[in-house]
Amino acid sequence: MTKKELKDFLNFKAEEYENSNFIELDPVSIPHQFNRKEDIEIAGLLSATIAWGNRKSILTNAAKMMAIMEGEPYQFTCSYSERDFKKLNGFVHRTFNAEDFDFFIRALQHIYLNRGGLETVFRGANAKEAILNFRSEMLQVTHLPRSEKHLSNPNKNSAAKRLNMFLRWMVRPATKGVDFGLWTALSPAQLSCPLDVHSGNVARKLGLLNRKANDWQAVDELDLALQTLDRQDPVKYDFALFGMGVNEKF
């Protein structure tokens, strides 16, 4: 396959998967339940944070998080206090439990009340820098060491798949009805591909990725390959790679 043929093929597949039908079985469906910017941001971050494992379980537990927050994640976050912890008791998604949930809410409260909101702390010259700035700000709040594993660290070579996915949701345009295009602090050109086992396997089969591990070095390699296909919006190809991996077993 020539480079032009590969680009045409991936453009076709990205168009095929980036539409409202994509939403139903994806964690992005949770923030789509809201209209207020801050509600979308918080619902999106929390849903992305637990987005590993069985997709049905992810959606069920993300919906439980929104119910615990009384359908108003921003208001719940800003008014959250120690006495509200009992509402979180019993929540668990794999290794993410009520204590982790409590930490995220308190850290988000700090960010919204003292730092101007999530968009403000997700700033940088690229996705890696933005993720590291966000992680650093979250960890300013008192927390148990166990909770740190739920904040990916690209400096330790994590692919940060879930945070890159969240950034895609917030930054890429809403024209296709999937992503939201809420943020201008980053541009689509600065995003990194949300690399996981599905997108990684497809990327390798198409010759876009050689590295075997799904880590940040692989993210860098894949980003460079995708930027040669579309420098302004390379992460649109996440729809093609992930869609083919999950739906077509490519």
For 138-187, how does the pLDDT look when each residue is reduced to its tens digit (9 = 90+)?
999 999 999 999 999 999 999 999 999 999 999 999 999 999 999 999 99
Residue 247: predicted pLDDT = 83
Cα separation of 96 and 45, whole Å? Answer: 14
Distances from the Cα of 60 to the Cα of 12, 64, 69, 99, 154, angstroms: 31, 6, 14, 19, 28
Residue 24: predicted pLDDT = 87
pTM over 0.85: yes
Residue 249: predicted pLDDT = 74
Query: pLDDT at residue 227 above 90?
Result: yes
Percent of all residues in the chain with a pLDDT value above 70, rounded to a whole number: 100
Cα separation of 62 and 232, whole Å? Answer: 32
Cα separation of 186 and 190, whole Å? Answer: 6
Domain ranges across the chain: 3-247
Phi, psi of 97, deg, nearest 5 = -120, -170
What is the token pair recorded at 1? Answer: 């396959």
Phi, psi of 93, deg, nearest 5 = -135, 105
